[in-house]
Amino acid sequence: MTPFFINNLINGVFLFLLCTRNLQSTEGQIVLSGDDNEVSGEFSTVAGGFGNNATDPYSFVGGGYFNDATGDYSFVGGGLGNNATEKYSFVGGGIGNDATGASSTVSGGFNNIASGDESTIGGGDSNIASGSTSTIGGGEINVAADVDATVSGGFNNIASSEASTIGGGDSNVAAGEGSTVSGGFENSASSDGSTIGGGNQNEASGFGSTVSGGFENIAISGGSTIGGGGGNVAAGLGSTVSGGKDNNATGAFSFIGGGENNQATGNNSIAMGRNANAKKDRSLVINLGNNEASSKKDGEFLVNSDSFTLQIGKKKVTINKKNIKRFKKLLKKKNRRLEEIPNQYEINEYVNQQQTIIEELHKQNEKQQEQINELNRMMNNFIAQSSSE
């Protein structure tokens, strides 16, 4: 192949050619170098490479192999088998990338498709940005399928609803409008405004629901929240599980502070500890024992533990299984106040005081006995004297 150069200006037609077997068909076309390139669009350009095509007005291929710029003002910088097919579409390079939406962009990578208008793919492998103004930063096999959907990176993530976002991770789904999955593995934010911070196999399926992290947690109802832990369920409207394991907050605006295997089934109920069941509305159950503790009445405050200690300053009182029956009897008595229950220190003080009083009485009794004995002697002397006279 012998290169040659032509630069002719005939009847306003400008042709520029370097190398052989390059084709131009209209005015203003440029092929700078390469082989088997074609420019058929007005003012289109192929700068070099092999088998490249610039077929629409102002289209441009910088080089590479078998690249096509077939949209008005489309651009392919280089690479292999890349296509910019719509107006203002852009492929920077890479292999097998397609910018098929108007003003779409694929910066590079491998087998990426930006098919939504104004969609963008930064790089990576086999990513698809099909929503208008959708964005994929990179990663592999990610999909941004709706308007303003974003996948920053990761693997096999799908942002399928408008303004949905996935920060990264693996096999996450943001299917609700405005939903977010920051990262993690196999998480699903399926309702509008739902959020998952991370973790493993979490689901936020209620409107505005949140799972901050953990594993296998489910926030089902609107406004429900799970802070973390594993196997927790927030199924009541506005319900919250802070953490722990296998907890269920099913009542509206119910709350579980953590722990294990707790249930908050009453509306506005609260459960803490282990095996606590706040099944009545407005009830609070704290279980620190081994057996299940359940509320029986609305508004009940139930605490189950091995012992219960109240302390004010240095003074304290403890209720346990040894004195709980006496405490119960005391509460049943009329006109008896809780403050009358002495603790061990007070009992000892009282005993000491009583012992002191008893000892003082003994001393007084001994003194009185001495006085009585003296009177007896005086009486005996008086009787003896009277008898002698």
> Over its length of 389 residues, how does the chain's per-residue pLDDT go in tens digits?
333 333 322 223 334 444 445 454 555 666 666 688 899 889 999 999 999 999 999 999 999 999 999 999 999 999 999 999 999 999 999 999 999 999 999 999 999 999 999 999 999 999 999 999 999 999 999 999 999 999 999 999 999 999 999 999 999 999 999 999 999 999 999 999 999 999 999 999 999 999 999 999 999 999 999 999 999 999 999 999 999 999 999 999 999 999 999 999 999 999 999 999 999 999 999 999 889 999 999 999 999 998 888 888 888 888 887 887 777 777 776 655 555 555 666 667 777 888 888 888 888 888 888 888 877 787 777 777 777 66
Give the closest residue to 309 by CA, choosing from 343, 266, 357, 263. 343
CA-CA-CA-CA torsion sign (108, 114, 118, 120):
negative
Asked whether the beta carbons of 15 and 8 are under 8 A apart, the reply is: yes
Q: Where are the alpha helices (DSSP H) in the chain?
A: 324-332, 344-388
Q: Taking the domains of the chain in order of start, what are their residue ranges?
A: 308-357
Residue 123 to residue 228: CA distance in whole angstroms: 33
Q: How many CB atoms lie within 10 A of CB 66?
A: 17
Q: pTM here?
A: 0.78
